[in-house]
């Protein structure tokens, strides 16, 4: 329930007579239904470890509130088939916003974690006031476009590059985002959107997106590498994101010395190198559209950042012991695959056996992972586990 108690949620979403949208036991059930398409009531009873009468009572309550739908199952042999359960997409929705150094992404998801709509726009230089005004307008436009009831808005997840100075309140962002730095950003965001806001680092929300609808479907514990203008990441342990004491868990560049920072695996240095050679790359979106991994500038960048990336991967391996490390953020897929093929684990074997190494995988999320994870964060904190 971390991050919920201080949020003023819409009364339309709250359970009758309570200050929460779902109890712990209801969230167990909702999360099972979310993770298991077409799950039956009998399966929920078996897998939730709740007594059958309690489980059936909670399911009926969730159905009465419009959070799940219960439909008859197809006959299979003797006896009555167990009803099938699905989340009701229209019961609630949330917004995710990701602010990077060259692009802002706005995204809406419904209760079933499906994307309703997404809009991105490039903005340089990055003005906080004008950007927030535009985001406020986009929210109003999308509510009207999709016929969404604002009272069903759980909240806004807001992801931004940089590290926290005070957990969930103010950030120290990269230089292109100077206007967003140091001030009490959370308060400004809640005033802008007139809704509860969860403020997190973009690497962490990327990991959250992966945990709910991406790599988390195959791996419970993984590290997430956020290749953006700069470089960061996120950590997921046994299905739960790790935030850290100050909200800065996953700030992987701290593994590097100051003199190595120019050679960290941030895409900004690659874009600068390509532009110096005359390739005319205007943004990360432009990079993904135009890149050829055989370009000599790309090969030189890979060689330059590889020692630092290897150290980070090995640091994650030793500290987190993950099943996988996901290459995400704004990195083009072919570049991520190239980095994976170049990586070599240093592990020495003992008695002919090497220490288990994580799988290196490329994110398969279609939508902006940081914005998607930001949008899913309010739903996760209020409805799921």
112 and 188 share one domain? yes
Angle in degrees, CA 245, 306, 342, rounded to 5 = 115
261 and 378 share one domain? no
98 and 63 share one domain? no
> CB within 8 A of 19, min separation 6: which ones?
none
Residue 16 lies in a domain: no
pLDDT band at 292 (very low <50, low <70, confident <90, very high): very high
187 and 224 share one domain? no
Instruction: Tell me the pTM.
Output: 0.92
pLDDT in tens, 306-318: 999 999 999 999 9
Residue 10 lies in a domain: no
- Tokens representing 108 are 């809406």
Q: What pLDDT, on the 0 to 100 scale, is given for residue 5?
A: 54
Q: Measured between alpha carbons, how far is 247 from 228 in angstroms, rounded to an integer?
A: 19
230 and 337 share one domain? yes
83 and 105 share one domain? no
Q: Please report the sign of the dihedral spanned by the C-alpha atoms of residue 160, residue 331, residue 360, residue 313.
A: negative
Any idea what the CATH number is for the domain that residue 142 is in?
3.30.420.40
Q: Alpha-carbon Rg of the chain, whole angstroms?
A: 22
314 and 239 share one domain? yes
- Percent of the chain topping pLDDT 70: 96
83 and 101 share one domain? no
Using the predicted structure, report yes or no on whether residue 287 has a pLDDT greater than 90.
yes
Q: For residue 61, how many other CB atoms are within 10 A of its CB?
A: 17
Distance between first and last Cα of the chain: 9
- Domain range for 179: 92-208+369-383
- Tokens representing 62 are 């969730």
Q: Measured between alpha carbons, how far is 266 from 282 in angstroms, rounded to an integer?
A: 15
Residue 123 lies in a domain: yes
Q: What pLDDT, on the 0 to 100 scale, is given for residue 347?
A: 74
pLDDT band at 284 (very low <50, low <70, confident <90, very high): confident
200 and 227 share one domain? no
pLDDT in tens, 39-92: 999 999 999 989 999 999 999 999 999 999 998 866 565 656 789 999 999 999
Using the predicted structure, report yes or no on whether residue 1 has a pLDDT greater than 50.
no
Residue 190 lies in a domain: yes
130 and 245 share one domain? no
118 and 244 share one domain? no
39 and 170 share one domain? no
> What angle, rounded to 10 degrees, do the helices at 296-320 and 267-276 form?
170
Q: What pLDDT, on the 0 to 100 scale, is given for residue 16?
A: 83
- Residue 366 or 146, more confident: 146
Using the predicted structure, report yes or no on whether residue 323 has a pLDDT greater than 50.
yes
pLDDT in tens, 166-223: 887 889 988 888 999 998 999 999 999 999 999 999 999 999 999 999 999 999 999 9
Number of domains observed in the structure of the chain: 3
Residue 1 lies in a domain: no
pLDDT in tens, 8-50: 899 999 988 788 899 999 999 999 999 998 899 999 999 998 9
Last residue in a domain, options 40, 69, 90: 90
Decide if 85 contacts 68 (C-beta within 8 A). yes
pLDDT in tens, 228-239: 988 999 999 999
Residue 13 lies in a domain: no
Query: What is the pLDDT of the chain when averaged over all its residues?
Result: 92
**Mean of pLDDT values over 103-122:** 95
Q: Please report the sign of the dihedral spanned by the C-alpha atoms of residue 169, residue 171, residue 239, residue 330.
A: positive
Residue 281 lies in a domain: yes
- Percent of the chain topping pLDDT 90: 79
pLDDT band at 332 (very low <50, low <70, confident <90, very high): very high
Q: What pLDDT, on the 0 to 100 scale, is given for residue 77?
A: 54
Last residue in a domain, options 56, 90, 124: 90
Residue 6 lies in a domain: no
Q: What pLDDT, on the 0 to 100 scale, is given for residue 164?
A: 93
Any idea what the CATH number is for the domain that residue 34 is in?
1.10.10.10
């Amino acid at each position: 329930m971390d991050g919920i108690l201080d949020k003023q949620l819409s009364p339309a979403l709250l359970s009758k007579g309570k200050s929460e949208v779902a109890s712990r036991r209801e969230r167990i059930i909702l999360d099972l239904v979310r993770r298991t398409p077409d799950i039956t009531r009998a399966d929920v009873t078996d897998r939730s470890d709740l007594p059958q009468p309690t489980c059936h009572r909670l399911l009926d309550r969730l159905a009465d509130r419009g959070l799940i739908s219960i439909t008859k199952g197809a006959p299979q042999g003797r006896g009555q088939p167990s009803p099938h359960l699905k989340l009701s997409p229209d019961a609630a929705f949330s917004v995710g916003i990701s602010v990077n150094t060259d692009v802002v992404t706005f995204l809406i998801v419904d209760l079933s974690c499906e994307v309703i709509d997404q809009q991105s726009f490039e903005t340089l230089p990055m003005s906080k006031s004008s950007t927030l005004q535009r985001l406020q307008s986009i929210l109003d436009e999308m509510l009207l476009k999709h016929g969404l009831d604002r009272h069903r808005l759980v909240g806004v997840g807001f992801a931004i590059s940089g590290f926290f100075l005070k957990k969930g309140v103010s950030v120290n962002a990269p230089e292109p985002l100077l206007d967003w730095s140091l001030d009490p950003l959370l308060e400004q965001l809640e005033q802008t959107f007139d809704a509860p806001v969860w403020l997190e680092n973009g690497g962490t929300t990327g990991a959250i997106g992966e945990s709910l609808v991406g790599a988390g479907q195959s791996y419970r514990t993984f590290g997430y590498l956020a290749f953006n203008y700069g470089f960061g990441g996120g950590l997921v342990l046994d299905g739960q994101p790790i935030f850290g004491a100050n909200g800065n868990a996953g700030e992987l560049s701290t593994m590097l010395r100051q003199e190595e920072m120019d050679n960290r695996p941030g895409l900004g240095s690659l874009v600068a190198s390509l532009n110096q050679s005359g390739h005319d790359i205007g943004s990360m979106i432009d990079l993904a559209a135009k890149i050829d991994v055989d370009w000599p500038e790309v090969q030189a960048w890979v060689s330059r950042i590889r020692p630092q990336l290897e150290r980070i991967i090995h640091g994650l391996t030793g500290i987190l012991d993950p099943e996988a490390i996901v290459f995400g953020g704004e990195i083009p897929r072919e570049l991520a695959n190239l980095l994976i093929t170049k990586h070599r684990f240093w592990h020495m074997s003992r008695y002919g056996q090497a220490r288990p190494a994580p799988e290196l995988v490329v994110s398969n999320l279609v939508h902006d992972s940081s914005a998607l994870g930001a949008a899913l964060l309010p739903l996760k904190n209020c409805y799921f586990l």
